[in-house]
Structure 1
Amino acid sequence: MSGNTVSSAILLLVIGNALAIVSDVFIKLLEPGAPVFQFAFLRSLLTLVLLLPLLGQINRDRLLEGVGLHALRAHIHLAGLICMVVALTTLPLASANAVFYVAPVIVMVLSVVFMGEGLRPLSLLAVFSGFGGVLVILRPMEFNLASLSALGTAFCLATAAVMVRKLPREQSTVHKLFLSYLLMLPASLVLALLEGAPWRLEVVWSALGSAIFILGYNTSVLMAYRHVEANQVTSAEYTGLIWAIAVGWIWFGEVPDLWFFTGSLMIILPLVLIGLQRRRTPVPPRQAMAAEVTAADSGKSQPD
């Protein structure tokens, strides 16, 4: 699959989102009370190791260009990863992922606040419907650390995605990924040491499995968006929620209720309608490229 046709790009996104859910499963399989900071450090370190064969794609002449922005984004990434671990280990798999999907809605809001972009009526509907969907899924009486962690993950995903637009365009996605994980290491190591938990082999295996499959997701997304405009295929990203429902139901015995389906539709349906609207409307090349970079570099499960 080269991703050079719309159908193959959609298939790549469907497969990629399945890989992302497998990454989530490796996290969810952690035992209750597992060392969160230790996991974050190990996944960052192991991801760097997995990226070593791709170092040739790093522009060494611009190695540290924009390092301050990269550092800020890396620590937002770290916060999102920590929130994601808490959310996935405490919430049903599908519920956590449904809240993660509110990230594109938060991107719209942040783009208005920090980029001065306007919202069309359908985008405004997506904002209100998306946040309403989160309330329906989590329900105010059930707000707790797990719920807030899921929202924190979505916020970090969105912030990292918006920041991609400010990173040097001459740097490849591998370059950005490498710097992000490299700059995460010191803080994540300090947090792991302060956590004081004994180093456990099962956490290493969980971090390794999660890292491998989320990189598989990123690779699939890159291939999907390389030859096809983002607005033609981006709705296929939401198949990840279908995978989450299926895996959560079959593997973990998590049966979604009516609240979940209602809230999920409130989040995803307006975003799909926006995608269909953009498919009918020609997208200026600069906007299309920005959308592809944002989609490929942020990822659904973490702001990679």
Structure 2
Amino acid sequence: MSGKTVSSAIFILVLGSFFATLCDVFIKMAGADVAIFQFTFLRAVFMCLILSPIALVQFLRSSRVSAMQGLKLHFIRGNLWVLAALLLVVSLAELPLATANAVFYTAPIFIMLFGAVFYKERLTIDIAFAAVLGFIGILVILRPTALSFSMISAIAFAIVLAANSLLIKKLPQEQSMLYGLFITQLFALPLAGSLALWEGQEFDLDVLMYSVLSSICSILYSVSCLIGYRFIESSKVTSAEYSGLVFAFLLGWWIFGDTPDLWVFVGSFFVIAPLLYLSHRDIRRLRKSQSLTNTRSSLGAG
């Protein structure tokens, strides 16, 4: 699969969504009593180790100026990653896999809202309506008679993930995604390591195993995004990533015995449907723009 056609790009992104969900599965399998800071530190360590050969090759091939650009942003993203990783572990420890993932999928809504605030992007009625429905979806999914720490962590994870994703726009364009991911994880090590030392938990072999497996799945997801969005317009294929919610339902039921109730499906619909509509709207606009360009070209040729 090259990712050069829409169908192959969609397949790659669906496969990536599976690996992203599998990453959550391994984190959840680590258990509620896992040493959270130790687990987060080990994840960062193994992501650096796995990515280091690729990063070294790209460092040697690029100019020193290019390789050292954006270090301040990588530092910020690395520390935000530590926060997001901690929130992810806490939320998955108690919430069912499907419930947590349904809340995580509100991240695109926060991205659109933050984009309007910090990047002065246009906030349309459609986007505002999608945000309102998304928040309603969260309430339907969680049905909070009393807010638990895991519920707050799931929402906070989506917010931090959105903030970290927006910073990608400011990263140097000449740096590859995997090289940037390596630098980000490298900057995550000091904070994650300090927290692990402060935690003072004994080394656990199970934590090591689950951190390795989740790191591999996280990198495979990043690679799928790199290939899936490289040749095809994102508006044509981005909806494929919502297949991750289906995987969360299936894997949660198969591995953890979670049976989502009707409200989880209803809430997920409130979250996903507006995002699918916005994606479909962007596709129509792109097609109209291309059609108009082709018409003008034909008239000019005539």
TM-score, normalized by length of structure 2?
0.91
Q: Deviations over 1:27-71 (max 9, x none)?
A: 111132110000110000000000022021234433332222221
**Counterpart of 1:40?**
40
1:245: how far off?
A: 0.2
Moved more, 228-237 or 217-226: 217-226
**Counterpart of 1:5?**
5
**Counterpart of 1:87?**
91
Q: Does 1:209 align with 2:213?
A: yes
One-letter amino acid of the structure 2 residue matched with residue 37 of structure 1: F
Match of 2:152, SS state, is helix
Separation in 2, partners of 1:6, 1:278: 15
Separation in 2, partners of 1:131, 1:64: 40
One-letter amino acid of the structure 1 residue matched with residue 259 of structure 2: V
Q: Does 1:189 align with 2:193?
A: yes
**Counterpart of 2:20?**
20
**Counterpart of 1:118?**
122
Separation in 1, partners of 2:131, 2:58: 37
Answer whether contact 1:99 1:151 (CA < 8 A) is retained: yes
Identity %: 41
**Counterpart of 2:58?**
57
Separation in 2, partners of 1:159, 1:77: 10
Q: Deviations over 1:101-122 (max 9, x none)?
A: 0000000110111011112222
Moved more, 208-217 or 61-70: 61-70
Structure 2 residue aligned with 1:104, among 99, 103, 108?
Answer: 108
**Counterpart of 1:259?**
263
Answer whether contact 1:130 1:267 (CA < 8 A) is retained: yes
Separation in 1, partners of 2:86, 2:68: 26
One-letter amino acid of the structure 1 residue matched with residue 9 of structure 2: A
1:226: how far off?
A: 1.1
Structure 1 residue aligned with 2:74, among 47, 66, 70?
Answer: 70
Answer whether contact 2:6 2:236 (CA < 8 A) is retained: yes
Separation in 2, partners of 1:127, 1:164: 22
Separation in 2, partners of 1:176, 1:216: 15
Separation in 1, partners of 2:255, 2:31: 16
Q: Does 1:235 align with 2:239?
A: yes
Answer whether contact 1:57 1:174 (CA < 8 A) is retained: no
Separation in 2, partners of 1:248, 1:26: 11
One-letter amino acid of the structure 2 residue matched with residue 57 of structure 1: Q
Separation in 2, partners of 1:79, 1:90: 18
Q: Deviations over 1:211-245 (max 9, x none)?
A: 01111111111111111100001001100000000
Larger radius of gyration: 2
CA RMSD of aligned residues (A): 1.4
Structure 2 residue aligned with 1:148, among 152, 176, 191?
Answer: 152
Structure 1 residue aligned with 2:223, among 219, 222, 229?
Answer: 219
Q: Does 1:166 align with 2:167?
A: no
Separation in 1, partners of 2:236, 2:157: 26
Match of 2:201, SS state, is coil
Structure 2 unaligned regions, length at least 5: 291-302
Moved more, 237-246 or 22-31: 22-31
One-letter amino acid of the structure 1 residue matched with residue 58 of structure 2: Q
